[in-house]
Protein backbone atom coordinates (compact mmCIF):
# COMPACT_ATOMS: atom_id res chain seq x y z
CA UNK A 1 0.00 0.00 0.00
CA UNK A 2 1.15 3.55 -0.75
CA UNK A 3 2.45 5.05 2.54
CA UNK A 4 0.53 8.29 1.96
CA UNK A 5 -2.73 6.39 1.30
CA UNK A 6 -2.09 4.52 4.55
CA UNK A 7 -1.33 7.74 6.45
CA UNK A 8 -4.52 9.41 5.17
CA UNK A 9 -6.61 6.38 6.13
CA UNK A 10 -4.94 6.18 9.56
CA UNK A 11 -5.48 9.91 10.17
CA UNK A 12 -9.19 9.64 9.35
CA UNK A 13 -9.61 6.47 11.41
CA UNK A 14 -7.85 7.90 14.47
CA UNK A 15 -9.93 11.09 14.20
CA UNK A 16 -13.10 9.10 14.91
CA UNK A 17 -11.88 8.18 18.40
CA UNK A 18 -9.63 11.09 19.40
CA UNK A 19 -10.77 14.72 19.63
CA UNK A 20 -7.24 16.07 19.16
CA UNK A 21 -6.74 14.03 16.00
CA UNK A 22 -10.18 15.11 14.80
CA UNK A 23 -9.12 18.78 15.08
CA UNK A 24 -5.83 17.93 13.38
CA UNK A 25 -7.58 16.27 10.42
CA UNK A 26 -10.08 19.13 10.16
CA UNK A 27 -7.01 21.39 9.88
CA UNK A 28 -6.12 19.72 6.56
CA UNK A 29 -8.66 22.13 5.05
CA UNK A 30 -6.42 25.09 4.25
CA UNK A 31 -8.81 28.04 4.09
CA UNK A 32 -7.76 31.52 5.17
CA UNK A 33 -4.39 30.41 6.60
CA UNK A 34 -1.26 30.23 4.51
CA UNK A 35 -0.92 28.43 1.19
CA UNK A 36 -3.98 26.79 -0.33
CA UNK A 37 -5.57 25.09 -3.32
CA UNK A 38 -8.57 27.00 -4.66
CA UNK A 39 -11.83 25.10 -4.28
CA UNK A 40 -10.72 22.83 -1.44
CA UNK A 41 -13.03 24.34 1.14
CA UNK A 42 -14.23 21.25 2.99
CA UNK A 43 -12.76 18.04 4.37
CA UNK A 44 -14.17 15.72 1.69
CA UNK A 45 -12.70 17.69 -1.23
CA UNK A 46 -9.39 18.07 0.61
CA UNK A 47 -9.10 14.35 1.41
CA UNK A 48 -9.99 13.46 -2.20
CA UNK A 49 -7.29 15.86 -3.42
CA UNK A 50 -4.71 14.31 -1.08
CA UNK A 51 -5.58 10.82 -2.29
CA UNK A 52 -5.27 12.01 -5.91
CA UNK A 53 -1.84 13.64 -5.51
CA UNK A 54 -0.50 10.87 -3.28
CA UNK A 55 -0.67 8.43 -6.19
CA UNK A 56 2.22 10.22 -7.91
CA UNK A 57 3.97 11.90 -4.95
CA UNK A 58 7.69 11.19 -4.67
CA UNK A 59 9.59 10.82 -1.40
CA UNK A 60 12.44 13.32 -1.12
CA UNK A 61 15.48 12.50 1.07
CA UNK A 62 16.22 14.74 4.06
CA UNK A 63 19.60 15.72 2.63
CA UNK A 64 18.04 17.05 -0.56
CA UNK A 65 15.42 19.03 1.36
CA UNK A 66 17.97 20.48 3.79
CA UNK A 67 20.22 21.50 0.88
CA UNK A 68 17.28 23.56 -0.45
CA UNK A 69 16.05 24.84 2.93
CA UNK A 70 18.50 24.19 5.79
CA UNK A 71 16.89 22.60 8.83
CA UNK A 72 13.54 21.94 7.13
CA UNK A 73 13.69 18.12 7.11
CA UNK A 74 13.63 16.52 10.53
CA UNK A 75 13.36 12.95 11.75
CA UNK A 76 11.14 11.00 12.00
CA UNK A 77 9.15 12.80 9.30
CA UNK A 78 9.03 11.64 5.69
CA UNK A 79 8.60 14.25 2.96
CA UNK A 80 6.71 13.70 -0.29
CA UNK A 81 6.67 16.21 -3.15
CA UNK A 82 3.71 16.24 -5.53
CA UNK A 83 2.80 18.16 -8.68
CA UNK A 84 -0.37 20.26 -8.61
CA UNK A 85 -2.75 18.38 -10.92
CA UNK A 86 -4.21 19.98 -14.01
CA UNK A 87 -7.50 21.67 -13.24
CA UNK A 88 -6.40 22.92 -9.81
CA UNK A 89 -4.99 26.34 -8.94
CA UNK A 90 -2.66 26.37 -5.95
CA UNK A 91 -1.29 29.48 -4.29
CA UNK A 92 1.76 29.85 -2.07
CA UNK A 93 0.57 32.41 0.43
CA UNK A 94 3.76 32.75 2.44
CA UNK A 95 7.00 34.60 1.81
CA UNK A 96 10.52 33.78 2.94
CA UNK A 97 12.27 36.45 5.00
CA UNK A 98 15.10 36.30 2.47
CA UNK A 99 12.66 37.37 -0.25
CA UNK A 100 11.47 40.48 1.64
CA UNK A 101 12.63 44.01 0.87
CA UNK A 102 13.73 46.26 3.75
CA UNK A 103 10.33 47.98 3.58
CA UNK A 104 8.48 44.65 3.76
CA UNK A 105 10.63 43.50 6.69
CA UNK A 106 9.47 46.53 8.69
CA UNK A 107 6.00 44.96 8.73
CA UNK A 108 7.13 41.51 9.94
CA UNK A 109 6.21 40.56 13.51
CA UNK A 110 6.40 37.45 15.70
CA UNK A 111 3.45 35.91 17.52
CA UNK A 112 2.46 32.68 19.22
CA UNK A 113 0.70 30.52 16.65
CA UNK A 114 -0.98 27.14 16.75
CA UNK A 115 2.39 25.37 16.43
CA UNK A 116 4.59 27.78 18.40
CA UNK A 117 6.24 31.06 17.44
CA UNK A 118 5.63 32.25 13.90
CA UNK A 119 6.36 35.26 11.74
CA UNK A 120 3.48 37.21 10.19
CA UNK A 121 3.07 40.49 8.34
CA UNK A 122 0.87 43.34 9.49
CA UNK A 123 0.56 44.39 5.83
CA UNK A 124 -0.29 41.31 3.71
CA UNK A 125 -1.15 43.55 0.74
CA UNK A 126 2.57 44.44 0.46
CA UNK A 127 3.27 40.87 -0.67
CA UNK A 128 2.01 38.88 -3.62
CA UNK A 129 0.91 35.28 -3.53
CA UNK A 130 2.78 32.98 -5.92
CA UNK A 131 1.16 30.31 -8.01
CA UNK A 132 2.44 26.92 -6.85
CA UNK A 133 3.19 24.08 -9.24
CA UNK A 134 4.13 21.59 -6.53
CA UNK A 135 3.31 20.80 -2.95
CA UNK A 136 4.34 18.70 0.03
CA UNK A 137 2.79 15.99 2.16
CA UNK A 138 4.64 15.32 5.41
CA UNK A 139 4.06 11.94 7.04
CA UNK A 140 5.16 10.82 10.48
CA UNK A 141 4.25 8.57 13.39
CA UNK A 142 1.54 9.49 15.85
CA UNK A 143 2.35 9.67 19.55
CA UNK A 144 4.11 6.62 20.94
CA UNK A 145 2.84 4.47 18.10
CA UNK A 146 4.53 3.84 14.79
CA UNK A 147 1.25 4.37 12.94
CA UNK A 148 1.95 6.73 10.03
CA UNK A 149 -0.35 9.75 9.78
CA UNK A 150 -0.38 12.96 7.79
CA UNK A 151 1.43 15.57 9.85
CA UNK A 152 0.71 18.36 7.38
CA UNK A 153 0.46 19.19 3.72
CA UNK A 154 0.63 22.38 1.67
CA UNK A 155 1.18 23.68 -1.84
CA UNK A 156 4.37 25.60 -2.60
CA UNK A 157 8.04 25.42 -1.74
CA UNK A 158 9.39 23.70 1.33
CA UNK A 159 9.67 26.63 3.71
CA UNK A 160 10.08 25.52 7.33
CA UNK A 161 13.75 25.95 8.15
CA UNK A 162 15.37 25.98 11.56
CA UNK A 163 13.04 26.69 14.45
CA UNK A 164 12.33 30.31 15.32
CA UNK A 165 13.10 29.67 18.99
CA UNK A 166 16.82 29.59 18.11
CA UNK A 167 16.87 32.87 16.16
CA UNK A 168 18.50 35.89 17.79
CA UNK A 169 16.57 39.10 18.50
CA UNK A 170 18.61 42.33 18.35
CA UNK A 171 18.45 44.34 21.59
CA UNK A 172 20.56 47.28 20.49
CA UNK A 173 18.81 48.50 17.38
For the chain, the helix, strand and coil percentages under 3-state DSSP, each to the nearest 5: 30, 25, 45
Tell whether the model's pLDDT for residue 33 goes beyond 90.
no
Q: Using 50, 70 and 90 to split pLDDT, how confident is the model at 1? A: low
Tell whether the model's pLDDT for residue 108 goes beyond 50.
yes
pLDDT score recorded for residue 173: 44
- Determine the average pLDDT of the residues in 39-67: 95
pLDDT score recorded for residue 129: 86
Residues in the chain, total: 173
Alpha helices in the chain (DSSP H): 3-15, 19-26, 43-54, 62-68, 102-105
List the chain domain ranges: 3-86+131-158, 94-128
Largest CA distance in the chain: 55
Amino acid sequence: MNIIFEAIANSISLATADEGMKRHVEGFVRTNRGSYVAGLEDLDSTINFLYEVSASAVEVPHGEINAECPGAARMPARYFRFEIPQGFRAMESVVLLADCSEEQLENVRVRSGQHGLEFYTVNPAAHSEREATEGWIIVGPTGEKETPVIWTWYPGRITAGSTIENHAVKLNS
